[in-house]
A and B are shown apart, each in its own frame.
Chain A
């Protein structure tokens, strides 16, 4: 008999596949012994693993010499590896107890873990993660495996992955492994991993709390996003039914695709621009010819899955790939936006010591500290944008001073390129992300210093309502239609219209059909969203009368009651 559990769907459709558990924090505690004669060999093996891990870190450190933050982080990791008491205890276990190197490390880690759990200071306690990481690397080395993550060790083709949580980096890994879907027991719909899987059209469900315990490896699963349910070991009838539904969905999607060819214009004749958000330069291949350009190209992924920084040349190649497909269309590239939930790599973490990363060193703040990383990226953008329509988008702007400082670095980049006799564009557009309420509140002032603005609603909502969208306890309070938020968005749109500069919304709000008419009502004429959702949003735009909506919007802007407000929105 089949069993049903619930989760929250990220993307649409039906997905059928076999389950495979991925335990990412895999430390094997199974006892294993050696013979007395093997002691020297086993100790040698352990020492070799230390040397190998240390060399890996030293290599990364040498590659990022210019970056003091990263260098310090690696230095600390090196101290863990060189910890004499750790080494001594493990050697003792091999020599006196005849444990294998693996088991010695595992038991020593268990001891350390117990000690750390008792530490009161949260910040110090959390360093256990670093030690765990090191232990996993050591064990991986001893198992003679070539790759670090055990995601890569199993054949994942057409499988549905079951795990606690998943990082954006892992989403990319599994995407290239042709996974069918992902189910996580924790996580959130608005996390970066979720956004990424949505944009890659990779079926994903989060908060399926029961998934880890109930689903077994090789169970057949149906992920039905419509009802947010996961059917475990469905019977033949269920499989038949969902397969037919899946086909129907596919034809529905095909129908919606026809919409893409139509001109994007409302019933009352207003032209609405619909652009795409992309995360990987490869995605541009899947974009429809009729899309109005790239409204947001997130560049974090260029910096991921690696221990060094992408060079200027490498970035030029990636950006050019996008420009090549977007003929005569604007490509808006956002400068590196790390911090908060966006962990770029083990080596590049903004605000490492920040207790509250959302309020820490992220976005432009990080770029102004690590000027060289920023300048290299700007130079690559300017070079790739030669003879093209380039928009440079700066994240997390809070005040006008940051715009001045960013411009100064862009000027420096141009002078350097001139001296290097490289071809680059001098006619780029400079824009800012409106994510911080302070930025929205002074949009009229800031509009005089930039060529366009892009409203990042995810963070704007989070900062305005003081809600962490990843925190399960409060994520239900996260509502982009709170009057406080809508009024801020309106303020920004009005200011930009007055100043005669472009303004668009690139946050998730732009891609969810529930909000489409609200945004039209606030006067928005430019959207940027995941390519996957364009057909649905566009079909709503085509059937909208902005004059009528604008009249009705004032009531919504004043309506504090969420249920009443949602009803008003549904009736727009």
Chain B
């Protein structure tokens, strides 16, 4: 398992469309991907669970990935976070 703390940079936070992007991206990998915030965890493949994390701009999420392609998955997800989900910052 690898883990990393990533910050939400975009203005609207992890809202529906951003979460949808994360789901779509996670579906490309085989590893288990879990996001944790304030003792709540969410499967990165469930848009509802992601929204329930209530992650607005500036929140820090712990991303935990377990599986064969974990490094690759972490790289892609980190990139998505750094790009602010391709939205306005």
The interface of chain A, by Cβ under 8 A from chain B, is: 72, 75-76, 79-80, 83-86, 112, 115-116, 118-121, 123-125, 127, 130-131, 353
Contacts and interface: CB of A to CB of B under 8 A. Distances in A.
Interface centre among A76, A86, A123, A130 (most CB of B within 10 A): A76
Interface string B24-61: 10000000000000000001011111011011100000
Contact of A80 (B13, B43, B47, B55): B47
A123 B12 contact: yes
A116 B54 CA distance: 9
Nearest to A108: B48
28 contacts: A72-B17, A76-B20, A79-B19, A79-B23, A79-B47, A80-B47, A80-B48, A83-B49, A85-B45, A85-B46, A86-B46, A112-B48, A112-B52, A115-B52, A118-B54, A119-B54, A120-B54, A120-B56, A121-B56, A123-B12, A124-B13, A124-B51, A124-B56, A125-B54, A127-B15, A130-B16, A131-B48, A353-B12
A119 B12 contact: no
B52 A75 contact: no
Interface string B47-88: 111011011100000000000000000000000000000000
Contacts of B9: none
Contacts of A124: 13-16, 51, 54, 56
Interface of B: 12-17, 19-20, 23-24, 43, 45-49, 51-52, 54-56
Contacts of A125: 54
Given A353-B12, A353-B17, A127 B51 contact: yes
Given A84-B43, A120-B56, A124-B56, A76 B48 contact: no
Contacts of A83: 46-49
Contacts of B51: 116, 119, 124, 127
Contacts of B24: 79
Contacts, number: 62
Contacts of A127: 15-16, 51
Given A121-B13, A123-B15, 13 more contacts: A75-B20, A79-B19, A79-B47, A83-B46, A85-B48, A112-B48, A116-B51, A121-B56, A123-B12, A124-B14, A124-B15, A127-B16, A131-B48
Contacts of A131: 48
A225 B51 CA distance: 45
A121 B20 CA distance: 17
A121 B15 CA distance: 9
B13 A116 contact: no
A127 B54 CA distance: 11
Given A123-B13, A123-B15, A124-B14, A116 B46 contact: no
Contacts of A121: 13, 15, 54-56
Contacts of B12: 123, 353
Contacts of B23: 79
B16 A76 contact: yes
8 interchain residue pairs of minimum CB distance: A85-B46, A119-B54, A121-B56, A79-B47, A79-B20, A76-B20, A127-B16, A115-B52
B45 A84 contact: yes
A171 B14 CA distance: 35
A322 B48 CA distance: 47
